[in-house]
Structure 1
């Protein structure tokens, strides 16, 4: 569990304010989710990982699992479990969280 008293910025579930990710785990703001802009994170917390499924995304075929806020059940994005393209193997184990689903806290 992260220490939120340290003053480090983090991202909350927009629906219930549950902490979801640390700013220091943000890798890129250059992604798209179902609802628009999305961020790539190396780690996420206080989430539930759903059923894995193969999904065709903009950059190819992946095995992914939707991720949900563990407090309110809001769909936040997905976790990359497997890339079928060697050029995108770096995404495996990382999280896409949609910008519309989170808010930044300091």
Structure 2
């Protein structure tokens, strides 16, 4: 299988996994703070690194039906949020390919 190499980010604010502090995203890649996850507040990011994507599944959410993939930390395996694959509602198409990270599962690394 080989060794997994993690990507390290730079910038004024880095979000990491709460459990192992693996770098996940930067403040510059954050698109919105106005989201809710399964554990409270969540952030929408354009780019996230060091995650493993699960299998796609359909979920009924407050904004409509979406096909999503759960995302997990590549180091410790903790669930961090999900990636939007397909949004059924035309007004929600901007979410496709974007990531939700739950605030309670994140820590500021810097």
The Cα of 1:51 is off from its aligned counterpart by 0.4
Instruction: List, as ranges, runs of 4+ consecutive aligned residues in structure 1 with deviation greater than 6 Å.
Output: none
CA distance in 1, matches of 2:102, 2:40: 7
CA distance in 2, matches of 1:58, 1:75: 21
* Residue pairs, 1:11-90, within 5 angstroms: 11-90=15-94
| Structure 2: segments with no counterpart, 5+ residues | 1-6
User: Relative to structure 1, is the Cα distance of residues 64 and 105 closer, same or farther in structure 2, using a 3 angstrom cutoff?
Assistant: same
* Number of residue pairs matched by the alignment: 104
TM-score (norm. length: structure 1): 0.93
Instruction: Report the 3-state secondary structure (helix = DSSP H, G, I; strand = E; otherwise coil) of the residue aligned with 2:97.
Output: coil
| Structure 1: segments with no counterpart, 5+ residues | none
* CA RMSD in angstroms, aligned pairs only: 1.1
